[in-house]
C-alpha cells in the first residue's frame, strides 16, 4: 500500500489498477488447501460462492481505507490452470460455465451493490480459450451485464492466430473490451 500510494502520488495522470485473485482460503476449497487442484466448494449461489464474492468487496474496502482504488478486478487468475497446476501452485479451477454462474449469481451482484465503481473482467487466461469462453459467459445476458471486458494472457499466442481468437471474440461481443493482463518472457524453462 505505501508503494502504491507513492506511485499514485508521483504519476502525472491517474493510474488504473486491477487485481486478480489466485485462490480462496483453504476452508472454501474442494481440496481443503490453498495449493493444488481444487474448486470452490458447492455451486454458484451457495454460501461459499457468496462468501468468496464478499472477499472481493472486503479487499476493495480495505484498500479504499488507504486511498487506493481499483479500476477493475478479474473473477479469477488463470481459471483453467487449476485443472493442470503443479501441486504447490495456488489457484482455483473454473470452467467457463462455472465462471459465468459465479459472475451472474454472486460476484456481479456483490460488486453492483458495493460502493466501489470497480469494473469486472472475465477469463484472465490464455487467448486459446477464445471465443468459446466469451460465448459461454457473455452469451448469458445476466453475466454479460456485469462484465466490462475480457482479460487475456499471451503465453500460448503462437498456437492460435489473433484472428481466430481476439478478432472473432471482438466481432461477437464488440461492447466488451479485450485487455492483455499478463505476459512475460522466459516462462519456458527450456529457453
CATH number at residue 64: 3.20.20.80
Structural domain including 98 reads 18-182
CB–CB of 169/144 below 8 Å?
no
Residue 130 lies in a domain: yes
161 pLDDT tier (thresholds 50, 70, 90): confident
Structural domains of the chain, count? 1
Residue 4 lies in a domain: no
Residue predicted with more confidence, 191 or 135: 135
CB–CB of 104/49 below 8 Å?
no
pLDDT tens-place string over residues 38-72: 999 999 999 999 999 999 999 999 999 999 999 99
Q: How far apart are CA 154 and CA 29, in angstroms?
A: 28
187 pLDDT tier (thresholds 50, 70, 90): low
> Is the pTM for the entire model greater than 0.75?
yes
Q: Which three cell numbers stand for residue 147?
A: 462484465
Q: How far apart are CA 184 and CA 156, in angstroms?
A: 12
Active site residues: 78, 182
CB–CB of 157/129 below 8 Å?
no
3-state DSSP call for residue 23?
coil
Residue 187 lies in a domain: no
Residue 188 lies in a domain: no
Residue partners of 51: CB distance under 8 A and separation at least 6: 28
Amino acid at each position: 500500500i505505501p508503494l502504491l500510494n507513492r506511485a499514485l502520488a508521483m504519476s502525472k495522470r491517474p493510474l488504473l489498477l486491477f487485481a486478480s485473485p489466485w485462490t480462496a482460503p483453504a476452508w472454501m476449497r474442494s481440496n481443503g488447501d490453498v495449493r493444488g487442484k481444487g474448486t470452490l466448494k458447492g455451486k454458484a449461489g451457495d454460501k461459499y460462492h457468496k462468501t468468496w464474492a464478499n472477499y472481493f468487496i472486503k479487499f476493495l474496502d480495505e484498500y479504499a481505507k488507504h486511498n487506493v482504488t481499483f479500476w477493475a478486478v478479474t473473477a479469477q487468475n488463470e481459471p483453467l490452470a487449476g485443472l493442470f497446476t503443479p501441486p504447490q501452485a495456488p489457484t482455483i479451477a473454473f470452467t467457463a460455465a462455472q465462471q459465468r454462474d459465479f459472475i451472474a449469481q454472486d460476484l456481479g451482484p456483490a460488486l453492483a451493490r458495493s460502493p466501489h465503481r470497480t469494473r469486472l473482467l472475465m477469463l484472465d487466461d490464455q487467448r486459446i480459450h477464445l471465443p468459446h469462453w466469451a460465448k459461454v459467459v457473455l452469451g448469458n445476458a445476466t453475466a454479460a451485464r456485469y462484465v466490462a471486458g475480457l482479460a487475456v494472457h499471451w503465453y500460448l499466442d503462437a498456437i492460435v492466430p489473433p484472428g481466430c481468437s481476439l478478432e472473432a471474440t471482438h466481432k461477437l461481443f464488440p461492447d466488451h473490451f479485450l485487455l492483455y493482463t499478463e505476459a512475460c518472457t522466459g516462462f519456458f524453462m527450456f529457453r
